Chain A
Amino acid sequence: AVGAGGPVLAQGAELEPTSFEDITNYCNYYEFGTGKGDPAENAHMLTTEPWSVKIDGLVERPGDYGLQEILSEMTVEDRLYRFRCVEAWSMVIPWNGFELADLLEMAGVMPEARYVAFETVLRPDEMPGTRRNVLDWPYVEGLRLDEAMHPLAIMATGLYGKPLPNQNGAPIRLVVPWKYGFKSIKSVVRITLTEEEPPTSWNKANPREYGFYSNVNPQVSHPRWSQAEERVIGSGGEGIFGRLSVERQPTRMFNGYDEVAALYEGMDLSEYF
């Protein structure tokens, strides 16, 4: 169900995709361990079939939606997006996915709904990292409804035209390219429309360092490191020191996706970080 030639938003043409190998071997997915290589090593334990997503809260048609049922209704497109981690590294990832807005419309958003909450699957038997309370499991994330409805926000089901590897959040994950990577919650099992701002995992763990919005913003430092620049994974050159000379490039406001700026008009983004 991978549609080639869909609209490539946000200056896709100029971007050089990160290699499949790097995208799938350098991951943050703490449910499988805190090391960058742990998810690639452990995520094979996760069963992704069958899979369903519970959509509930302020929706007209709540229920458990099977993944195949969802995919049969959605148009899967290619989206080449920059991906900026809060740890100041970045990649360029060719996702395959559909717009989150389409999924929300399928369930029917009620007028009172103002936020969207997401939840990652929690299976301690299949997720060795969850046996320690590194975070308060299950992993949860959230968006304001207008953010969720923005056409750049997608639910990804694949990358490089292949089914999403487990370590990258199979079988279905959120991708919000103008926010730090941890907002793009993986292996989603539940989507809840709410009236109140939902709790989010990293904000719960350390509210001083991780805000609800977490928009990519070079002017607002993480308390422990600068966000002004990023290391581009896989950008090293050839030769002995090639891999060890990773390029640093300036980080752009909203990760370069200026079209979302209108969502935050009138907000002090150093307060709502």
Chain B
Amino acid sequence: MRDRLNRAVRRVPGWLIYLAGFGWMGWLFFQGASGALGPEPVEALEHAYGLLALQFLVAGLAVTPLRRWAGINLLPLRRQIGMMAFWFLCGHVGVWALLDLQSLSRVWAEIVKRPYITIGMAGLLCLLPLAATSTNAAIRRLGGARWRRLHRLVYPAVGLGALHYIWLAKGAQLEPFLYAAAVVGLLVLRAIPKRAGRRGESGDSAGGRFRALSRG
């Protein structure tokens, strides 16, 4: 079952993720324009794009733990997952700046004045170099070790994103905390020393994985 899944994942072409992601982005925009998102489509789009960006970031963060602990290998699609997080974030910020605030001076004033927007923009800044180096050529140019070090910026980015979501909610709403818990959980899973999970990482049998775990 797991091997079939992993084989299927390897067969998914990268462009299919982009097609689905951008298709969804466009569909949401069309729905907003046609009134299907309710009387205040700007806010609805802003929130939908922002939430999708966070969901893709969390999905990207789950790739390594899934491989280590469940033997599910989404690594072939991680670049596309990360890039879609970036593009939805661009959509989120674009709708906010162009359709909601409608002027550069307002955008700047909000960034300076509202801490939850400041940290959101900081999250976007963290992702910019990652998006810019998400090509094979960039990996070769930087070298694997440096590229991996640079891409650790995804941790502050996703942390800031989760915090931004908690900060903007009114009242004690549950969802932002669920996302934050998922982020913390995935980071903890990643922090567990490599040795303990090495057998699982190679897609070994469940028994082997549990033996490895009990040794750790």
Contacts and interface: CB of A to CB of B under 8 A. Distances in A.
Interface in B142-176: 167-168, 170-174
Interface stretch (A29-37, A107-115, A120-128, A212-220): A29-37
Given A243-B32, A244-B32, A244-B33, A135 B171 contact: yes
B109 interface: yes
A240 B113 CA distance: 33
Counting contact residues on chain B (CB < 8 A from A), the size range is 20 to 34
Interface in B88-108: 99-100, 102
A149 to B, nearest CB: 30
Interface in B79-127: 99-100, 102, 109-110, 113-114, 116
Contact of B114 (A30, A205, A224): A224
Interface string A240-273: 1111111010000000000000000000000000
A233 B172 contact: no
A123 B42 CA distance: 33
Given A243-B32, A248-B102, A231 B116 contact: no
For the residues of B in contact with A, the DSSP-based class is helix
B76 interface: no
B171 A30 contact: yes
Nearest to B115: A224
Given A226-B109, A240-B33, A246 B42 contact: yes
A25 interface: yes
A169 to B, nearest CB: 17
Interface string B43-72: 111000000000000000000000000000
A132 interface: yes
B193 interface: no
B156 to A, nearest CB: 21
Nearest to A210: B170
A23 to B, nearest CB: 8
A233 B171 contact: no
Contact of B39 (A26, A240, A242): A26
A22 interface: yes
Chain A interface size range:
20 to 34
A21 interface: yes
Contact of A244 (B99, B167, B173): B99
Contacts of A233: 39-40
Contact of B171 (A21, A134, A231): A134
Contacts of A244: 32-33, 41-42, 45, 99
B167 A224 contact: yes
B43 to A, nearest CB: 8
A161 B154 CA distance: 55
A97 interface: no
B38 interface: yes
B40 A226 contact: no
B35 interface: yes
B102 to A, nearest CB: 6
A89 B40 contact: yes
B52 to A, nearest CB: 16
A246 B33 CA distance: 11
Interface of B: 32-35, 38-45, 99-100, 102, 109-110, 113-114, 116, 167-168, 170-174
19 contacts: A26-B38, A34-B173, A36-B39, A36-B40, A132-B174, A205-B171, A225-B110, A226-B109, A226-B110, A231-B42, A240-B33, A241-B33, A243-B32, A243-B33, A243-B35, A244-B41, A244-B42, A244-B45, A246-B40
Closest 4 CB pairs of A and B: A22-B39, A26-B39, A134-B171, A243-B41
